[in-house]
């Protein structure tokens, strides 16, 4: 290999080129080594993420099942309340006429009981 005079005067002789290439290869090797470490760590993170997402999927399935059960229970409760409303509607329709008949909304019994207690207290004395 012949060296041109320009290469030796500019400082880019064969020895310098070999050193530069050697440094570049060493830097590339170091970079690839770091990239390999990063890739391994990224693989671990992705495996943990996959595991977490699998657990989350199971939890969401359980939640969905629970919501379905709750929805069924609420439907049954709605039916019970509809039946209770249907059964109590005649009693509700009688409430206003009964209030008009008692005049005080059913408080007369309390007054009578209080008067009886007073009379019993006087008799005991």
- pLDDT tens across 33-81, in order? 999 999 999 999 999 999 999 999 999 999 999 999 999 999 999 999 9
Mean of the per-residue pLDDT values of the chain = 83
More confident site: 114 or 49: 49
Asked whether the predicted pLDDT for residue 110 surpasses 50, the reply is no
* Contacting residues for 99 by C-beta, under 8 A, at least 6 apart: 105, 106
Q: Per-residue pLDDT averaged across 15-27, rounded?
A: 92
State how far the Cα of 15 lies from the Cα of 13, in Å rounded to an integer. 5
More confident site: 8 or 39: 39
Burial 43-58 (b: 16+ CB within 10 A, else e): eeeeeeeeeeeeeeee
Where does the pLDDT of residue 111 fall: very low under 50, low under 70, confident under 90, or very high at 90 and above?
very low
Domains of the chain: which residue ranges? 12-124
The pLDDT assigned to 12 comes to 74
Q: pLDDT tens digits for 83-102?
A: 998 888 888 788 877 788 87
Where does the pLDDT of residue 120 fall: very low under 50, low under 70, confident under 90, or very high at 90 and above?
low
């Amino acid at each position: 290999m012949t060296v041109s005079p320009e290469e030796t005067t500019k400082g880019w002789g064969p020895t310098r080129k070999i050193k530069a290439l050697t440094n570049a290869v060493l830097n590339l090797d170091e970079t690839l080594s770091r990239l390999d470490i990063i890739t391994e760590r990224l693989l671990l993170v992705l495996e943990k993420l996959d595991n977490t997402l699998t657990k989350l999927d199971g939890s969401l399935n359980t939640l969905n099942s629970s919501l379905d059960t709750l929805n069924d229970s609420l439907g049954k409760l709605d039916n019970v309340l509809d039946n209770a409303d249907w059964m109590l509607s005649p009693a509700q329709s009688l409430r206003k006429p009964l209030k008009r008949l008692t005049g005080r909304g059913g408080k007369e019994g309390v007054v009578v009981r209080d008067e009886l207690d007073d009379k019993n207290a006087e008799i005991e004395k």
